[in-house]
A and B are shown apart, each in its own frame.
Chain A
Amino acid sequence: MLHRTLLRSATITLRNSKFQKLQNADNFLSSPKVFSRLSSHFTYVPDTVSPSEGETVRMNMFQAINNAMDIAMTSDPSAVIFGEDVAFGGVFRCTLNLQEKHGKDRVFNTPLCEQGIAGFAIGLAVSGSTAIAEIQFADYIFPAFDQLVNEAAKFRYRCGNQFDCGKMTIRSPCSAVGHGALYHSQSPEAYFAHTPGLKVVIPRSAVKAKGLLLSCIRSPDPCIFFEPKILYRTAVEMVPSKDYEHPIGKADILIEGDTVTLVGWGTQVHVLREVAQLAQDRLNVSCEVIDLVTIAPWDKETIYNSVKKTGRLVIAHEAPLTSGFGAEIAASVQKDCFLQLEAPVQRVAGHDTPFPHVFEPFYLPDKWRCLEAVRVAVEF
């Protein structure tokens, strides 16, 4: 199993360790030997925060997520965390020490059953508790699809706002990790984007993960929070210690540019940052890089404004091309920015195949495929 490979050494080193000690373990894990099997299709660029954000602590993404949940549990006595193997800290260490700190009734393992986890979360939320549920891998969210799509998403609507399950959040590790193959690599956001009533959020960094997760937990609507698992340890930066939230439904412009708009989310944002540099160096083209952040409801305004300025759009995501969320963005942009478009909208995505094991380097929408799309858009 993937998480065993990833974590065996971590578990040995980390068992019974306290939060502070994680830093060392993390350095150990990030050493080239341990991660030799991971293809590195991107270079992580840390987020920086302004000094006005107050005290900051160096954290990776799993620690930031852990910290967000710790804050949520402390500020809301009704909050509970549950899922498969969360009690001992989680297979990705996201819930480390939370049971010791907040008690066994508030941080607990469930039986191994995703539809049960989602249904249980809805019920908690309906009765006024804040439910923070974990699905161990996004690839295994499908048994809960019915509960999420037919139930959670429609709860408020169908009863005329008498009941709702807004106090639930599902967290789940998603996307490529180098060797995750079919069932430890998927990016299922588009399935949920087709479901009115759900909010779907994907962070690109430790700083964003903390702020967005706190927003999701406190949002009055049911949220699905996909965590790009390759960033758990790679995404390291100075994260504000305070309790803060980042808005759901708001995209971030990371690099300003005026010739091509590049849109992605999660890990892909870091690929696109590199593409912008490559485009500058090799094609002398200035790219604007945007992290969409929220898949549903998505920030049309920011994307439209950028495309109206640049006239060209490249959308890149790991999930397969056909009916991926890029299709939604492309269709909307061609309708609302038709006169400003100088070239057809380009989509660079995973192929329309299951996510393969040894072929991963040829599957992902890596920087070279993205660069080529930029070239096509500019030379059209």
Chain B
Amino acid sequence: MRAATRLLLPWSSRLSYTARKGIHTSPQILSKDERPQFPGAKANWTEKLEFVKSDLYDGIPVYRVMDRDGKVMRPDQDPKLPKDKLIHMYQSMTLLNSMDKILYESQRQGRISFYMTNYGEEGTHIGSAAALEPDDLVYGQYREAGVLMYRGFPLDQFMNQCYGNELDVGKGRQMPVHYGSKDLRFVTISSPLGTQIPQAVGSAYAFKQQQKGLCVICYFGEGAASEGDAHAAFNFSATLECPIIFFCRNNGYAISTPTHEQYRGDGIAGRGPAYGIQSIRVDGNDTLAVYNATRAAREICIRENRPILVEAMTYRIGHHSTSDDSSAYRSVDEVRFWDSTDHPISRLRKYLVHNSWWDDAAEADWKKKSKTMVMQAFANAEKKLKPDWRLMFTDVYEKMTPGLKEQMKEMEDHLVKYGDHYPLKNYAKANTPLE
């Protein structure tokens, strides 16, 4: 009997956890006034039949630092970042914006096959990236190129990936915007939504175990948060006590699906407490609010080995992707409102101008310069050949299997005969042996 009871109790969870959460260790002697003893929850009795309402409160408030004019509302909330850092933040946002414009256009002209812009969400990327340490590991969805931009991913590399040319570190295997960089600790993007979320939790557990003093940040959209993997991740991160920041970009749409068809609770932040996760909602167009929330989240999750959920409210100004025309499901006026009155780039610019760190001349100068840099990188990438076609067969496994070697050889023989019918001249010939 004693042993049987033991099996029912959470004896396998770590001691610190048991102590902190005050989980009871054995049923008390029953008395009239005893509290409920059910192992599944800590709660009082009630004799009133009452359902908990889902709209008891007004919604988790949206934390902001600046108003739409870039004025700090409460001085103690101004992170007072050094000028250099702020300029780097602003330039990363605007450089991303220039790159988006040019690559979007190039897709329209058929020069790359696909593209996704970041319009309106630059503040979420840059504000959060600036609050992290360079060695913190990033898992993303696909609309987080600003994080790479802030970390110094070269324009050439963005372009090489979109062109899938021989300089692409991904070897031309994935669709455009599926970036990744081992050096910048940005885990390569993949298309299946939500899959990165439990993976990020696993990496955070490894960090805790290796006592790295680092955290993992994991980005995803509010649409992806409906995936089963999001549920898995939130729950695992809490029970396994992982130093991870879940960063949700809630931009109002998942392709054509508006949020009221995505969920009926209080957004994504509203779910955090149900998993035992401390949560906050921020104004995603307020780069400084995003910075503050991420910085504080980072401190808590590393100090206490626990997950934090940040929901950044924003608006997807661009189309979902180059395969989408968003005027089919939302009004042009709605888009114009966000673009013209509440844009993260213009808001941060106003803040810089108030501090006399930026002016029209600097703006014009930087605009010209950034456009030139982007055009230059674009031209370079376009000129390059695609990788050796035989790189199609490597990296499936660490070493090519006999079966794969056989298939590669068959294709080589085939091309000796039928090479004229394939675009071989556009592909480089690797000068190192393939394995």
Considering only residues 142-165 of chain A, those with a C-beta below 8 Å from chain B are 143, 146-147, 150-151, 154-164
* CB-based nearest B residue for A168: B202
Whether, in the assembled complex, A113 has its beta carbon less than 8 Å from a beta carbon of chain B, the answer is yes
**C-alpha spacing A118/B171, complex, angstroms:** 26
Annotate A104-141 by CB proximity to B: 1 below 8 A, 0 otherwise: 11101111010110111111111111010000000000
**C-alpha spacing A57/B95, complex, angstroms:** 66
What is the CB-to-nearest-CB distance from A182 to chain B, in angstroms, rounded to a whole number? 22
Whether, in the assembled complex, B329 has its beta carbon less than 8 Å from a beta carbon of chain A, the answer is no
- On chain B, the residues within 8 Å of A16 by CB distance are 3
* CB-based nearest A residue for B214: A127
- On chain A, the residues within 8 Å of B228 by CB distance are 115, 143
B190 adjacent to A154 (CB under 8 Å): yes
Whether, in the assembled complex, B252 has its beta carbon less than 8 Å from a beta carbon of chain A, the answer is no
Considering only residues 380-409 of chain B, those with a C-beta below 8 Å from chain A are 394-399, 401-403
Task: Find A119's partner among B178, B204, B229, B399 (CB 8 Å cutoff).
Answer: B229
* CB-based nearest A residue for B7: A88
- On chain B, the residues within 8 Å of A196 by CB distance are 396
**C-alpha spacing A162/B207, complex, angstroms:** 19
Considering only residues 198-212 of chain B, those with a C-beta below 8 Å from chain A are 198-207, 209-210
Task: Find B203's partner among A110, A126, A147, A161 (CB 8 Å cutoff).
Answer: A126
B403 adjacent to A150 (CB under 8 Å): no
- On chain A, the residues within 8 Å of B232 by CB distance are 111, 113, 115-116, 119-120
The interface stretch among B67-75, B78-86, B234-242, B425-433 is B234-242
A119 adjacent to B233 (CB under 8 Å): yes
**C-alpha spacing A156/B13, complex, angstroms:** 33
Annotate B240-278 by CB proximity to A: 1 below 8 A, 0 otherwise: 100000000000000000000000000000000000000
Annotate B211-241 by CB proximity to A: 1 below 8 A, 0 otherwise: 0000000000000000011011101100110
A297 adjacent to B178 (CB under 8 Å): no
B206 adjacent to A164 (CB under 8 Å): no
Considering only residues 2-32 of chain B, those with a C-beta below 8 Å from chain A are 3, 7, 12-15
What is the CB-to-nearest-CB distance from A137 to chain B, in angstroms, rounded to a whole number? 18
A113 adjacent to B12 (CB under 8 Å): no
B398 adjacent to A128 (CB under 8 Å): no
What is the CB-to-nearest-CB distance from B424 to chain A, in angstroms, rounded to a whole number? 21
B209 adjacent to A119 (CB under 8 Å): no
Known: A119-B195, A162-B182, A163-B187. A105 touches B395 (CB 8 A): no
Known: A119-B195, A119-B199. A124 touches B206 (CB 8 A): yes
B195 adjacent to A116 (CB under 8 Å): no
Whether, in the assembled complex, A78 has its beta carbon less than 8 Å from a beta carbon of chain B, the answer is yes
Residue of A109, A110, A123, A143 with most partner-chain B CB within 10 A: A123
Interface residue tally for chain A (C-beta within 8 Å): 57
Whether, in the assembled complex, A15 has its beta carbon less than 8 Å from a beta carbon of chain B, the answer is yes
A150 adjacent to B7 (CB under 8 Å): no
What is the CB-to-nearest-CB distance from A96 to chain B, in angstroms, rounded to a whole number? 13
Whether, in the assembled complex, A80 has its beta carbon less than 8 Å from a beta carbon of chain B, the answer is yes
Residue of A78, A119, A155 with most partner-chain B CB within 10 A: A119
Whether, in the assembled complex, A197 has its beta carbon less than 8 Å from a beta carbon of chain B, the answer is yes
- On chain A, the residues within 8 Å of B139 by CB distance are 123
What is the CB-to-nearest-CB distance from B388 to chain A, in angstroms, rounded to a whole number? 13
A120 adjacent to B398 (CB under 8 Å): no
B210 adjacent to A129 (CB under 8 Å): yes
A163 adjacent to B180 (CB under 8 Å): yes
Whether, in the assembled complex, A340 has its beta carbon less than 8 Å from a beta carbon of chain B, the answer is no
B398 adjacent to A150 (CB under 8 Å): no
**C-alpha spacing A147/B239, complex, angstroms:** 21
A121 adjacent to B180 (CB under 8 Å): no
What is the CB-to-nearest-CB distance from A144 to chain B, in angstroms, rounded to a whole number? 10
**C-alpha spacing A143/B240, complex, angstroms:** 20
What is the CB-to-nearest-CB distance from B392 to chain A, in angstroms, rounded to a whole number? 9
Task: Find B202's partner among A78, A99, A124, A249 (CB 8 Å cutoff).
Answer: A124
Whether, in the assembled complex, B173 has its beta carbon less than 8 Å from a beta carbon of chain A, the answer is yes
A123 adjacent to B199 (CB under 8 Å): yes
Whether, in the assembled complex, B37 has its beta carbon less than 8 Å from a beta carbon of chain A, the answer is no
- On chain A, the residues within 8 Å of B210 by CB distance are 78, 127-129
Whether, in the assembled complex, A354 has its beta carbon less than 8 Å from a beta carbon of chain B, the answer is no
B170 adjacent to A120 (CB under 8 Å): no
- On chain A, the residues within 8 Å of B170 by CB distance are 158-160, 162
B180 adjacent to A162 (CB under 8 Å): yes
Whether, in the assembled complex, A311 has its beta carbon less than 8 Å from a beta carbon of chain B, the answer is no
Chain B contact patch, size range? 35 or more
- On chain B, the residues within 8 Å of A116 by CB distance are 198, 201, 229, 232-233, 235-236
Task: Find B173's partner among A121, A143, A157 (CB 8 Å cutoff).
Answer: A157
- On chain B, the residues within 8 Å of A122 by CB distance are 198-199, 202
B199 adjacent to A158 (CB under 8 Å): no
B12 adjacent to A151 (CB under 8 Å): no
Whether, in the assembled complex, B89 has its beta carbon less than 8 Å from a beta carbon of chain A, the answer is no
Task: Find A160's partner among B173, B197, B205, B207 (CB 8 Å cutoff).
Answer: B173
Whether, in the assembled complex, A309 has its beta carbon less than 8 Å from a beta carbon of chain B, the answer is no
What is the CB-to-nearest-CB distance from B49 to chain A, in angstroms, rounded to a whole number? 30
Residue of B137, B188, B204, B206 with most partner-chain A CB within 10 A: B206
Task: Find B169's partner among A105, A106, A162, A249 (CB 8 Å cutoff).
Answer: A162
Residue of B12, B139, B232 with most partner-chain A CB within 10 A: B232
What is the CB-to-nearest-CB distance from B430 to chain A, in angstroms, rounded to a whole number? 13
What is the CB-to-nearest-CB distance from B39 to chain A, in angstroms, rounded to a whole number? 14
B178 adjacent to A158 (CB under 8 Å): yes
Whether, in the assembled complex, B283 has its beta carbon less than 8 Å from a beta carbon of chain A, the answer is no
What is the CB-to-nearest-CB distance from B275 to chain A, in angstroms, rounded to a whole number? 10
Whether, in the assembled complex, B107 has its beta carbon less than 8 Å from a beta carbon of chain A, the answer is no
Whether, in the assembled complex, B192 has its beta carbon less than 8 Å from a beta carbon of chain A, the answer is yes
Whether, in the assembled complex, A361 has its beta carbon less than 8 Å from a beta carbon of chain B, the answer is no
Known: A150-B192, A297-B401, A297-B403. A157 touches B229 (CB 8 A): no
Whether, in the assembled complex, A333 has its beta carbon less than 8 Å from a beta carbon of chain B, the answer is no
- On chain B, the residues within 8 Å of A247 by CB distance are none
**C-alpha spacing A166/B254, complex, angstroms:** 33
**C-alpha spacing A115/B201, complex, angstroms:** 12
* CB-based nearest A residue for B391: A160
**C-alpha spacing A121/B198, complex, angstroms:** 9
Known: A99-B12, A164-B398. A158 touches B202 (CB 8 A): no
**C-alpha spacing A151/B170, complex, angstroms:** 15
- On chain B, the residues within 8 Å of A147 by CB distance are 195, 198-199, 229
* CB-based nearest B residue for A156: B395
**C-alpha spacing A119/B203, complex, angstroms:** 10
**C-alpha spacing A162/B395, complex, angstroms:** 10
* CB-based nearest A residue for B179: A159
Whether, in the assembled complex, A351 has its beta carbon less than 8 Å from a beta carbon of chain B, the answer is no
* CB-based nearest B residue for A159: B188
- On chain A, the residues within 8 Å of B207 by CB distance are 127
The 5 A-B pairs with the shortest beta carbon distances in the complex, nearest first, are: A123-B202, A119-B198, A116-B232, A159-B188, A87-B12
Q: Which residues of B contact A (CB under 8 A)?
A: 3, 7, 12-15, 137, 139, 168-171, 173-174, 178, 180-182, 187-188, 190, 192, 195, 197-207, 209-210, 228-229, 231-233, 235-236, 239-240, 394-399, 401-403
Besides A104-B15, A113-B236, A143-B228, 6 other CB < 8 A contacts?
A116-B198, A157-B173, A158-B188, A160-B173, A249-B401, A298-B403
